[in-house]
Chains A and B, each alone.
Chain A
């Protein structure tokens, strides 16, 4: 069974703080993704990575950065948190390949920025 875990289910931070969201998968997946989910807007892709030390911008990368130092771990960084980054953050992973790249999601981190 694919297991994607995220470091926290709930997180409360203050405006201006640096925030790290961690995601770990145990299925040796090459691809990893970070999304945010907001009511009325759906899931939106922030960043993704196809390999260690590799990253690509998604649809809404502004205000975020990522790090992938090991294959199983993909971190999302909010350099200076703002209230408009209050959201549910979801990490996903998948194998590489056109018929095998179903994305599997972690449980999500609900971040509140005060």
Chain B
């Protein structure tokens, strides 16, 4: 099975940088995904890591350390529209299904 932990809530200021952490314990790791979900909307894909290291995509970056069971999502130059829930999800090796963390609600204030 999978166990995924991420903070429930975070707050940050417009223009700042914020790091959202995710730790996981899994019986068969095969990749980690980050999704963004605005209130009342569907989750949308942000990033994917399967090897150790940093993946950068514009203002968003995601890091993975498989030996530590740890990932983070880094958001730079925060904007008000970045206020959303951020979901960490681990893919199972056998079935390629995703197990999601409970999500981190990020509130960006002016």
Residue from the list B42, B48, B99 in contact with A107, Cβ < 8 A: B42
B42, B91, B95: the one within 8 Å of A90 (CB): B42
Contact A103 B42 (CB under 8 A): no
In this complex, what residue of A is CB-closest to B85? Answer: A42
Shortest beta-carbon distance from B61 to chain A in Å: 17
Report if B7 contacts A (CB, 8 A): no
Any chain A CB within 8 A of the CB of B44?
Answer: yes
> Would you call A98 and B30 a contact (CB within 8 A)?
yes
- The reply to whether A107 and B41 contact each other, CB–CB distance below 8 Å, is yes
Check A42/B97 contact, CB under 8 A, given A90-B43, A102-B48.
Answer: no
Q: Which of A58, A98, A105 contacts B96 (CB 8 A)?
A: A98
The answer to whether A103 touches B98 (Cβ under 8 A) is: yes
**Chain B 90-106 interface 0/1 with A at a Cβ cutoff of 8 Å (1 = within):** 01000111111111000
Are B100 and A43 in contact, CB atoms less than 8 angstroms apart?
yes
Given contacts A31-B96, A98-B30, contact A42 B42 (CB under 8 A): no
Is A42 touching B44 in the complex (CB atoms < 8 A)? no
Chain A residues, Cβ within 8 Å of B101: 42
Cβ of A56: which chain B residues have Cβ within 8 Å of it? 95
Interface positions, chain A 62-114, Cβ under 8 Å from B, are 90, 98-99, 101-108
**A42-B87, A45-B97, A98-B30 known; A105 and B102 CB under 8 Å?**
no
B residues apposed to A, CB below 8 Å: 30-31, 33, 41-45, 48, 50, 87, 89, 91, 95-103
Nearest first, the 8 closest Cβ-Cβ pairs linking A and B are A105-B42, A42-B102, A43-B100, A42-B100, A105-B43, A102-B45, A107-B42, A101-B96
